[in-house]
Homo-oligomer: A and B are copies of this chain.
């Protein structure tokens, strides 16, 4: 069935968002179309407001409404440790654990030669400058355990060691997730868990 033009456009715009499939997009568009005007207008205004007000922290490049984000401003945080992450959602995930009290650096992507993303396309220079200029003693790489994440981690580790031999470089541990059953673990995860065995 062909939908009215402006409804089709709304379905397409919603369907372009991540993890919204064609069926969800249609359901959302029809929900909005059948709701009182205020629903669509409020959502529309919220989108514009968010885009206008949100900018990147000039220190760590996470999202904020101020020049410097609340984490970078927080005097109680340990400024000697910088966690390097790919994107803002990783910052939120780490903050939600409550077990990290250092600062962050949001790269804005991972090195990916197939997609023509090299070190110059992500905030690598800004990271090196921070390590040079600030009192950073430890860099904790908290990147995805994917080919791109591993490649980016290797590159950063090598470069930071060359430029700042005194800085300690760590990587968040990998292995079996909590609550998982060994029998059903995939080989790559289990192999990594065996490699990273620890004394008890």
Contact = CB atoms under 8 A, between A and B. Distances in A.
Interface of A: 1-7, 9-10, 13-14, 16-20, 24, 26-34, 37, 39-54, 63-65, 70, 87-89, 91-92, 95-96, 108
Contact of A65 (B5, B27, B46): B5
Nearest to A10: B50
Contact of A48 (B26, B44, B49): B44
**Chain B CB within 10 Å, residue with most, of A18, A20, A43:** A43
B88 A33 contact: yes
A30 B3 CA distance: 29
Contacts of A39: 16
A13 B30 contact: no
Given A18-B28, A43-B13, A46-B13, A7 B51 contact: no
B54 A7 contact: yes
Given A5-B53, A7-B54, A33-B50, 14 more contacts: A1-B91, A2-B70, A4-B54, A4-B64, A6-B50, A9-B49, A10-B50, A30-B63, A33-B51, A41-B48, A41-B51, A44-B45, A44-B47, A47-B47
Number of copies of this chain that the complex holds: 2
B17 A54 contact: no
**Chain B CB within 10 Å, residue with most, of A28, A33, A52:** A33
A122 to B, nearest CB: 13
Contacts of A40: 47-48, 50-51
Contacts of A51: 32-33, 37, 40-41
